[in-house]
């Protein structure tokens, strides 16, 4: 479905997630030989999902979508680094995808590691892991100066959402290519949070 308008793409994701939550998925099964043959000639994913690498948050399953429907980028903590920005730019310019969703989730280990590092700094952390923590840090460190510090559960939830919003903001304003398309209304970037317990995706401020 080429160049699906952002509102229609978002609704398609909502409906797919409702099927997933209800335990009645159907789209993911549509990956037979005919579909593969058609997609071999080219792809037209209707949404980009920048999500976490967590094994419990597989975008195609969560949104009940099949082969060729989603352009999925996964990295611990759903962070935005140059390679992720470039991947989104490719989807927007070369594939015509108009909806981008940054998908965080409850219980995110990368966010938890960042909060732990802020409260108990370590000198032994791998420099590669530190690079992930350093990208999440600016979004969440201010939360430790609020009353949430005394409520770990609420702090963790707020930190996940703050990190999602920071990634959304980076995609909207950290790339000239994407920013021009966002301002023109050709591309929409939204944040979302997946609940590990319920399976439901909650879209943040759209």
Q: What is the pLDDT of residues 134-180, one digit of tens each?
A: 999 999 999 999 999 889 999 999 999 999 999 999 999 999 999 99
- CB contact at 8 A, 36 and 70: no
Residues 6+ apart with CB under 8 A from 199: 17, 20, 21, 62
Residue 74, pLDDT score: 97
The pLDDT confidence band at residue 36, using thresholds 50, 70 and 90, is confident
pLDDT score, position 170: 97
**CB atoms near residue 197 (< 10 Å):** 7
In the prediction, which pLDDT does 125 show?
79
Alpha helices, H only, the chain: 6-22, 33-40, 59-62, 82-94, 109-119, 127-140, 152-173, 176-184
Of the pLDDT bands very low, low, confident and very high (cuts 50, 70, 90), residue 9 is: very high
Q: Which domains does the chain have, with CATH numbers?
A: 6-203 (3.40.1050.10)
* pLDDT of 28: 65
Give me the pLDDT at residue 29, please: 62
**CA terminus-to-terminus distance, the chain:** 22
Q: What is the rounded distance in angstroms from the CA atom of residue 107 to the CA atom of residue 79? A: 15
pLDDT for the residue 64 = 96
pLDDT given for residue 38 in this prediction: 82
Amino acid 181: pLDDT: 97
Q: What is the pTM of this model?
A: 0.93
């Amino acid at each position: 479905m080429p160049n699906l308008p952002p509102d229609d793409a978002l609704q398609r994701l909502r409906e797919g997630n409702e099927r997933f939550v209800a335990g009645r998925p159907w789209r993911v099964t549509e990956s037979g030989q005919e579909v593969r043959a058609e997609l071999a000639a080219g792809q037209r994913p209707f949404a980009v999902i920048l999500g976490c690498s967590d094994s419990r948050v597989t975008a195609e399953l969560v949104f009940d979508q099949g082969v060729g429907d989603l352009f999925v980028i996964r990295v611990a903590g759903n962070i935005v680094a140059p390679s992720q920005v470039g991947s989104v730019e490719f989807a927007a310019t070369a594939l015509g995808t108009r909806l981008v969703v940054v998908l965080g989730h409850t219980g995110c280990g990368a966010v938890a590691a960042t909060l732990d590092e802020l409260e108990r700094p370590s000198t032994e952390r791998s420099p590669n892991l530190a690079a992930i923590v350093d990208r999440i840090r600016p979004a969440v460190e201010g939360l430790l100066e609020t009353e949430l510090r005394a409520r770990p559960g609420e702090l963790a939830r707020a930190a996940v959402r703050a990190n999602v919003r920071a990634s959304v903001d980076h995609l909207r304003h950290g790339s000239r290519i994407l920013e021009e398309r966002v301002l023109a209304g050709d591309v929409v970037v939204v944040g979302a949070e997946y609940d590990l317990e319920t399976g439901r995706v909650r879209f943040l401020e759209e």
